[in-house]
Structure 1
Amino acid sequence: MAMKDYSDEFKADAVALYESTPGATYKSIAADLGINRNTLRNWVLRSQELRSGAPDARGARTAVRATQATPAAEPDERIRQLEARVAELEASERKLATERDILRKAAKYFAGGDELVSRFEFVHDHRDAFEVKRLCEVLQVNRSSYYKWLSGLQTRRARQRADERLAARIREVHAASGGAYGSPRVTAELKDKGLHVNEKRVARVMRTFSITGVRLRRRVRTTVSDPSAALVPDLFRRDFTAPEPGIKYMGDITYLPLENGEFLYLATVLDCFSRKAVGWSIADHMRTDLVADALKMAARTRGGLDGAVFHSDHGAQYGARAFAALCDQLGVTRSMGEVGSSADNAACESFHASLKCETLQGARDYGDAATCRRTVFAWLTRYNTRRRHSANGHLSPDEYERRHHTAKLTLAA
């Protein structure tokens, strides 16, 4: 078809036909009308532009006619639409730039973990740089939840400052104990210093500030029984308590690891009443002299052991004739648990475990023999005079015995 001028009505009808035909294409409709494909496309786009700029238009035909009737208004309308679009894009760009800034700062802020509380803290710390609403949207948190969190912020900060002050006091007690005390003993020590605090709170603060002890797992066999030794009855029956000091004693041997894979050995004698270490001996062997020297020291500490009962395991040292003769000489009755049962001497096992845990502090060995002796000696003396014992109501063995004697004198008076 030759080029010619088309009426406004023809243009409007052509646009209406294209828009009302399902699945229509410019090519198919243009072929039906006998016009160029691009011509139809321009009519349709022009009609759509007019309608988007005038929401109350009454249809494609009216829009095309209005375009022909007011050609001078068309450039101004187009400029207005473009300006509106530019403003929209600029607003979108600002929004995206804000999001990028927030996320860039958040990436550094949440390096240690992205928790809900951390998100609230981020919003609070950056509320002056960005709108709270925008921060909450980007971090995907509820604004009302943030304000609820904010309402309790001062209370939480006051509690945190109080916990920091308590942690400082706990560190002092913990350091004075050689890093050995857990929450029960720390609580007892703080109460003696005039600070009345709940043990659960002490435990929580110790966990929060990583104040803890070290456990020792390495074990070496020190009990080797002598099949030829005379049978000795079990007079304790796993009862490691006593109503008075100087009545029941218990003893055992433990290893002390040195450098280069060598060992020293420690024999101890504990009073069942207060768990006081009344006798000990350290040597580079496990012969009978080791346990005999510990028992002799206990006799000197107590001023004699006549009438007392001494309990041990079935180690060859305790079953030796020389040790039996020493017990007879001191007036001590021997007691032994079952063969192969560590529970029958559990109190001594626990004592030695605490000693190594608190003196080694996680190290593999004590170093040389001289260092080992000094370290263990210092711990044993401090154990009696200052270390709080759970079996004594968190009193040291010496203090526990002192209060017992004072109570007896008060009752006698």
Structure 2
Amino acid sequence: MAMKDYSDEFRADAVALYESTPGATYKSIAADLGINRATLREWVLRDRERRGVTAGAARPAARPTAVASGDPDERVRRLEARVAELEASERKLATERDILRKAAKYFAGGDELVSRFQFVHDHRNTYEVKRLCQVLDVNRSSYYKWLAGAGARAARKHEDRVLADEISEIHGESGGAYGSPRVTAELREKGHAVNEKRVARIMRTFSIAGIRLRRRIRTTVPDPASGQVADLFGRDFTAPEPGRKLMGDITYLPLQGGKFLYLATVLDCFSRKIVGWSIADHMRTDLVVDALRMAASTRGSLDGAVFHSDHGAQYGSRAYAGLCDQLKVTRSMGAVGTSADNAACESFHASLKRETLQGAPDYGDADTCRRTVFAWLTRYNTRRRHSANGHLSPDAYERRHHTAKLTLAA
């Protein structure tokens, strides 16, 4: 059942998404959000009226077209010049795309700057060196300096390979226990004038690692005041009907400057639809409470549903348990520190970050992060095809299910 009563937060995010998307139309944004075009337009106009902004000033105006000359021949010459300019620009962009496509495999690992130089060197007979350096954002003089040092690099590489053989021998004799400090001491005892940084670098390069005890970092901290909650899922993330089995989790959304926002989601196991979510700058219980309340509003009722989560303090709190009781939701929890017991949510959050960050280290500022994640979440439900649904979107998968039920009932 579609959500009829939209929260103030949802309306504000929808308006912000429309106003901040250049060239967007009410129809395209409304389709992504799964709402009516007229509804979105009404929200936008009300917001503009509240802010005292006119329709013309609300969004950046289109670039004014230059006034055409009255001379037809002159107009033709200008148009031909403009066409030639656009064609040249297109050829330039096509060349850049071709270069970047070919360069992608060079940047899979290792030193990215060295990979760029190597790519320029390998393709210098296909494209101009100047053009390659411009597209890959490297200095031509730096490339030629790198090229001039090829002989010295080859000699160092050979020396490293010889030293790696000795390191491997020492490492093997220690039963695989020695790390770089002890390996360095052994080498020095054998007469090698070598520092630990070089040894550590070579060990990393040749995948030689000593035994190291790691301190476990707990990311899920149970609430000691909460009682035991059984695992009612048993890693079965399927459901025969919408609203029967729900899952929830919290993930970090990295911002610039090392800051974070936090996203709590509620996922319906039947269609993998995100029926509830909440974004905040904290991880208090209110975060997961707001997400579950949205899920209840989306579905109309969660009476009889089972909600599965990890043992995070938010999900084990008395306040959250009380809300579940109020909504007649049965709680379920996996084992502590076992991500496989919450795999569907883990996979969803991984997809969200992969497709929204697209390799970037963070989302930038908080407002950009909110808009980006909000747009992706709504589009995920309405348009994004999901492999678990036979490559239908969650909404389309549920519509097909409801249609099939009505057909059988008739």
What TM-score do you get using the length of structure 2 for normalisation? 0.47
What TM-score do you get using the length of structure 1 for normalisation? 0.47
Return the structure number with greater relative CO, CA threshold 8 A, min gap 6. 2
Look at both structures and tell me which one has the larger radius of gyration over its CA atoms. Answer: 1
